[in-house]
Every structure is written in structure tokens, then in C-alpha cells.
Structure 1
């Protein structure tokens, strides 16, 4: 009886073990089937690599400076008698802007001119008498010296009187007036600024390595924050013949027209020096590039090939696509595109969205990328 019970229990245990083993084997089989089943294609967006005529540029930042710009200031002290300009007024060269009180200098000039007249008469009379030896040579020399001295005094007073008047040294736009009629001004006081806005200089610095690539007359494109999206054209007009010791940079100056007076001296600028001889380059959207410490790469949408070299097709008869990761060498970036100098050919399709879901060799399906439609088209030759 005991033996029979033991056999029954042993049979039950055996059945349980077999059942568990079968369930486990079935689970493993299902997992194997699941992993061996082809993964669904990953939806990505692609864009073609394009060939463009690409003009290389040297980027820089700088500041604007007027062709002529000064602070109008006084050389002598005095009280403002008249003001003949308004803030923001355009003035002509030679136009009187300010007159200081000059009554004392005018009176002194009158006295000096009277003395000069008398000295001139005495000298003229002495010139006639010296010929007949009516006066000595010493007296003649004294009369000549008195005449020259009075003449110099008149010239000195005229110069001092001229300093009481400020005139515009060139055509330009005057700034905000800082004085009023009746103000007593010390010498050196600035009354306003005067700027010639018909043209502007833009001064900027480039690394010494760029010196062989720049030359007088090269085109420059300038942009400022006040007018986003608008560029102003200029030309390199001067290159400093000395490299700065501290920064190892060379100062460069470009000249640009300012017909609408949009640009003002002191503005911060972003600029690009256009290099000659544009070249045809392969470019792709910036979003296609993955930047890592190990190198830059992108995914190319390639057709999957069978062992015999033929293109595999899906149920709809379309070629199957896989993601092929390529390491590339990049060049200049501009306007949302990047130059690919090595590793990619024109017309190849590159993945522009969905790279994070990809591995090398993954099946992909192309879906439209709306972000690419919103981006501006890459520029052609400048």
C-alpha cells in the first residue's frame, strides 16, 4: 500500500515537472520567434545631398565708424553768444555753428590795427628818408621792427578772434546739442558731435592665419542687429601692416556706402569676408549631422541588397531601405547647410530626422519632414 502511494506521488511530481518544462520550452520558443521576426521599419525623414557653387567666407565681428567723425569742442573759454544749429541738423562745411562773446577781442583788434596803420606810415616815411640819408640806418631798422611787431599783433588777435567761432569742418549730421546761449564754457568743452554718414568704415580683426587669404578690394557682407535678415555690401579698403602682439590678430578695415543713413557709427556688426574662386561642394542640412568625440557621421538611406547583388523589394514592390552610418569630414556651415568634404556623394539620400532610433543596417521607411520644408533653401553662388 505504501509503495503504491509512493509511485502515485512520484508520477504526479513527474507530470508537474514535465508540464513546467513544456511551458518553459514553449516560452523560450515564443521568445526566439519574436526576436527572429523582422523588426518593423523605422520612420525617418530624408533629404538629398546637393551640389552647390560654394563661396568660402571668413566670419568676423566688428564695429562701424564714420568716414569722418569728430566731437566739436572749444579751444578757448567764453560765453555762448549765438547758436546757429539744431540737434540732428545736417550742416555744410564752413557753416557757422557757434559764436562766443568776442567784444573784448574785437576792441583789442581795433587798437592793434590803429597801431599797425601808424607804424606802416612811419615805416613808409622812413623808407623814403633812408635813401637821402636823412635818417640813420638804425632808426630805419627800428621803424621796420615796430611795423612788423604791430603786424604780428594784429594777426595774433585775428587768430584769437577766429577761435571764438566754431564752423563745420565737413558736411555731416550734427548730434544732440549740449550747450545753450549764455553758458560759460571752459576750453575743451564738447558742444556736440559731427558725423559724416555718407559712408562708413567697419573695423574688425582676423587671425594671422587668414592674412594670405585677404586682399584689398575683397567683398564683405555686413549685418547688424537693428536690421535682421538684411546685409550691406562693402569692400576691404585697408589691412594693418602689423599683427597685434597680444592677440596675434591683424586689423582690417572695410568701406561701405550708407545712402539711406540706416547704419550709425558704433554699431556692432557681424560680417563675412567673401573669398574668391567659388567651388562646387556637396552640402546637406545641418540636422543630418551627428557630432561626437569620435568623429562626425550621418545616416544614408541605402537600398538593401541580396546575396546575389540584386535589390530586395517589399510587398508593394518597392526597394527595401536600410540606414547606413557613414563617418564624414565636414567643412563650413552656413544658412542651415553643411559642406561635406569627404565621405558622401551628390544625390545620396541622408536622414535628417529620426537618427536617434537608428542603428547601422536598420530597416527604414521614408516619411515627409515638415521642418525641412520650413527651412530656407541653401544659397547659390554669391
Structure 2
């Protein structure tokens, strides 16, 4: 009986040991399969390189200026007698704006005109007498000189009186007045600014190497911070005939209409000169470009092929995709797109998000949003820039 029990216990122990060994062997086999299995594909977003008609632009910044704009000043000193305008109103050409006290000049003018009348009478009398040889020629010359002097005195006083009255040199909008009635103003004192806002200029600089591409009449698109969603159209009105020595930049001036008067002189302008020629260019989203010190590159998505040259497919019948890093020569960037001058052809797919986890030959799966597909936040698109 004792031997039988021992045999039964030994058999039970052997069974348990065999079961544990089988379980352990199975676990090691599963781990080996897991390590030997290929890694899952990396989720990325992708877009196809497109060929489109691309109009080149030359970006620049500038400042808006009025077509005509002056700070109105007085040429002679005096006391302000009348202000004939209101701040901010529109004025016409030659409209009176300010009158200085001119009582002294008016009195002097009356005296000068009286002397002129006397000099004219004496001159006429002398002319009749000299014809009859009643007076000498030198006396007649003296009378002629007195008449000319009297005329000059009257003209001088009239000119001084004209300077006592300020007229608008052109039609425009006058600014806030800087003087009041009763103020004494010295020569050169500013009374207000006058700006013609019907048409504006914008002055800007471009590098000297762009000079062959520029011409009078080329279109310019202008944006200002006050109206960020609007684009204002203008054209190049003048090109400076000299390059700045210090900066090697060329000064240009564009003109644009301002019928509603919404644009104001002094505004900062972000503008682009539209070059006349358009050419087909390969473009990709800006997020597809990886910028490094060694050059700009993209990850091109290709269908992996086997040794027989046939496209490989996974167990679900989907093509197996892999990426290859390719260095490219990029050009102009605009509105989220980048021109690829060299290294990429139209129709090729490039990765636009998820580049941080990639390397040459990595398997990928294209999804609409890598963040949703992988269930974890990523900032790959931002890092790629």
C-alpha cells in the first residue's frame, strides 16, 4: 500500500512538472514570435505633390504715404485773427484756412498806394513836359524811378498781406489744428497737416538682384494690419535710379487708389510685387518639409516591393508602405505651400505629419489624423517646421 501511494504521488508530481514545463515552453515560443514579428506601421498624414501654375511674387514691407501731404506753416509772424476751418474736414484748393492780423500792413499799403498815385501823376506830367523840353531828361528819369519804386512798395506790401492769409495748396483732408484765435505765431509755426487721401503711395525696398524683374506698371498687392482680411491692389509708379550704398537695396514706389479714405498715411504695409510670368511648379504643403542645417528634406511614401519586383501586401490585402528620406531644393513659400525646385515629382506622396518617428525604410500607415489614430498627442507637424 505504501509503495502504491508513493508511486501515485510521484506520478502526480511528474504530471505537474510536465504541465509547468509545457506552459513555460509555450510562453517562450510566444515571446520569440513577438520579438521576431515586424513592428506595426507608424501612422502618418500624407499629401500628394501637385503641379500648378505658380505666379512668383517678391515680398516686401513699406509705409503708406499720401500722394500730397504737407504741414501747413506761416511764413510771417503775427496774431491769429480768424480760423476758417474745422479740424478733420475736407477742404478745396485755395480755400482760406487762417487769417493773421494785418491792420498795420493794410495801413502801410494805403500809404504806399497814395504815394504810387502821386508818383504816377508826376510821371505823366513829366512825360508831357520832357516832350516839350520844359524839363531835363535826368529829371524825367528821376520821376520814372520814383514811379517804379512806388509800384515795388505796393507789390511788396500786397505780398506781405497775402502771406498773412493761409490758403489750401491742394484739396484734401485737414488735420487737428495746432493754434487758436488770439495766439501769436512765429515764422514756421505749424497750424495743421493737410493730406490728400484720394490716392496713396507706398515706398518699399527690394534687393538689387531683383532689379531686372521690375518694371513700371507691375501689379502690387498690399495688406495692412487695420484690415487683415482685405487685399488692396496697386501698381509700381516709380523706381529709384540709384541703389542704396549702405544696404544694396533698390527703392520703389507703388500707387493705389483710396476712394473711401480708409487707408491712412503712415500705416505699415505688407506687400508683394506680382511678377508677370507664370510657370508650372511642383508644390507640397509646408508641413511636409523638414528644415535642418544639412538641407531641406521630405519623406516620400512608396509601396514596398519584394525580390520578384511585385508590390507587397499585408495580411489584410493592403499594400505595404515605406518611407524614404529625400533631400529637396525648395523655393518660394506662400499660403501654406512650398515650391520644390528639385528632388520631387508631381504625384509623389509625402508625409505631412508624423515625421519625428520616421527613418529611412520605416513602415507607415496613412491616416487622416495621426493623433486620433495613435491615441496620444503629437506635435510632429510643428516640429517638422
Q: Which runs of 5+ in 1 are unaligned?
A: 1-22, 372-382
User: Does the 8 A contact of 1:90 with 1:174 survive in 2?
Assistant: yes
Match of 1:11 in 2: none
Match of 1:208 in 2: 208
Q: After the TM superposition, which residues 36-185 of structure 1 pair with which residues of structure 2 at under 5 Å, given as runs?
A: 36-185=36-185
Counterparts of 2:51 and 2:334 in 1: how far apart (Å)? 14
Counterparts of 2:35 and 2:286 in 1: how far apart (Å)? 35
Q: After the TM superposition, which residues 361-372 of structure 1 pair with which residues of structure 2 at under 5 Å, given as runs?
A: 361-369=361-369
Match of 1:309 in 2: 309
1:235 maps onto 2:243 in alignment: no
Q: Deviations over 1:47-93 (max 9, x none)?
A: 11111111111111111111000000000111111111011100000
Counterparts of 1:317 and 1:190 in 2: how far apart (Å)? 83
User: Does the 8 A contact of 1:46 with 1:369 survive in 2?
Assistant: no
User: Does the 8 A contact of 2:43 with 2:370 survive in 1?
Assistant: no
Counterparts of 1:349 and 1:270 in 2: how far apart (Å)? 33
Match of 1:275 in 2: 275
Q: After the TM superposition, which residues 9-48 of structure 1 pair with which residues of structure 2 at under 5 Å, given as runs?
A: 33-48=33-48
Counterparts of 2:286 and 2:317 in 1: how far apart (Å)? 32
Count residues in correspondence.
Answer: 350
Counterparts of 2:343 and 2:336 in 1: how far apart (Å)? 19
CA deviation after TM superposition for structure 1 residue 278, in Å: 0.8
Q: 1:156 to 1:133 in 2, by over 3 A?
A: same
Counterparts of 1:291 and 1:208 in 2: how far apart (Å)? 27
Counterparts of 2:140 and 2:85 in 1: how far apart (Å)? 51
Match of 1:226 in 2: 226
User: Does the 8 A contact of 1:200 with 1:265 survive in 2?
Assistant: yes
Q: 1:28 to 1:314 in 2, by over 3 A?
A: closer
Match of 1:248 in 2: 248
CA deviation after TM superposition for structure 1 residue 269, in Å: 1.2
1:294 maps onto 2:294 in alignment: yes
What secondary structure sits across from 1:278 in the alignment? Answer: strand
CA deviation after TM superposition for structure 1 residue 226, in Å: 1.2
User: Does the 8 A contact of 2:78 with 2:186 survive in 1?
Assistant: yes
Of the structure 1 ranges 152-161 and 208-217, higher mean CA displacement relative to structure 2 is found in 208-217
Q: TM-score, normalised by structure 2?
A: 0.87
CA deviation after TM superposition for structure 1 residue 35, in Å: 3.3
What secondary structure sits across from 2:253 in the alignment? Answer: strand
Counterparts of 1:346 and 1:42 in 2: how far apart (Å)? 24
Q: TM-score, normalised by structure 1?
A: 0.88
RMSD: 2.0
CA deviation after TM superposition for structure 1 residue 110, in Å: 0.7
CA deviation after TM superposition for structure 1 residue 117, in Å: 0.7
Counterparts of 1:291 and 1:344 in 2: how far apart (Å)? 16
CA deviation after TM superposition for structure 1 residue 297, in Å: 0.9
CA deviation after TM superposition for structure 1 residue 370, in Å: 9.3
CA deviation after TM superposition for structure 1 residue 36, in Å: 2.1
CA deviation after TM superposition for structure 1 residue 300, in Å: 1.7
User: Does the 8 A contact of 2:51 with 2:280 survive in 1?
Assistant: yes
What secondary structure sits across from 2:237 in the alignment? Answer: strand
Match of 1:6 in 2: none
